[in-house]
Amino acid sequence: MNESPPRYEYRSFAQQFGRIEYELRERAGAPEIRESTEVYFVARASDVNVKLRAGMVDIKERIAVERGLEQWRPALKLALPLAGEALRTQLLPALGVQTAVSFPEEIDEQALRAVLRESAPDVVAVDLFKRRFGFQLETVQAEVVEVLVNGAAVRSVCVEGVDADEVLVFSEALGLLAYGNINYVAALKRITGLAAEPSFRA
């Protein structure tokens, strides 16, 4: 796959963001709207972002934390059906799972869920629907996301870009810093009970 540069991210979750969403529309105009159905595989022992979308397993890893920002880079993409060897040597280690078990030669989504239930009890499959409103703010990108997590509604706002200073400037200008930086993996751990954290802001 084409190498994408690592990106700094400041993301927050809340039930609503009030003026921040208004500010984004005032600054950037009409958003680009995208919708997707995704499955996140969330592990108690791993902070790696592992999700299934459009028939591809997409793995991203956090490589740095600087001044409250998280820097993420794409690590691997695997197409379904997944080879059993790729599951054992690539996907499961990303989730912090080590096993010598042999798997079938090809594994589709249903079989993948079953394998994780049986082989990785500390890994939870979480079904998400996202409606993403994307904005271009000069040198950074921002988005407002309406998220259904196993059917429960929450919202997310994110500012991201390759330059940490610019991401911080725009996050502060929008008032996003007051909400705290929490990535999808950490948020889903809260929601599913894999991590004991305070609830999101109302």
Structural domain for 151, as ranges: 7-51+59-73+124-192
The CA distances from residue 163 to 9, 45, 66, 186, in Å, are: 10, 29, 11, 23
Would you say residue 128 lies in a domain?
A: yes
Instruction: Give the H/E segment covering residue 190.
Output: helix 184-192
- Assess if residue 97 is contained within a domain: no
SS3 track for 23-43: HHHHHHCCCEEEEEEEEEEEE
In this structure, is residue 106 part of a structural domain? no
Number of domains composing the chain: 1
Q: Nearest 5°: phi and psi at 141?
A: -115, 150
Residue 163 within any structural domain of the chain: yes
DSSP H or E run through 172 = helix 164-174
Judged against a pLDDT cut of 80, whether residue 1 lies above it is answered with: no
Record the pTM.
Answer: 0.93
Whether 78 is in a domain gets the answer no
Domain membership of residue 15 (yes or no) is: yes
Residue 202 pLDDT class (50, 70, 90 cuts): low
In a domain, 118, yes or no: no
* Helical (H) or strand (E) element with 52: strand 49-53
Read off the pLDDT band of 160 (50, 70, 90): very high
Is the predicted pLDDT of residue 27 greater than 60, yes or no?
A: yes
User: Which domain CATH number covers 36?
Assistant: 2.40.320.10
Q: Is residue 14 part of a domain?
A: yes
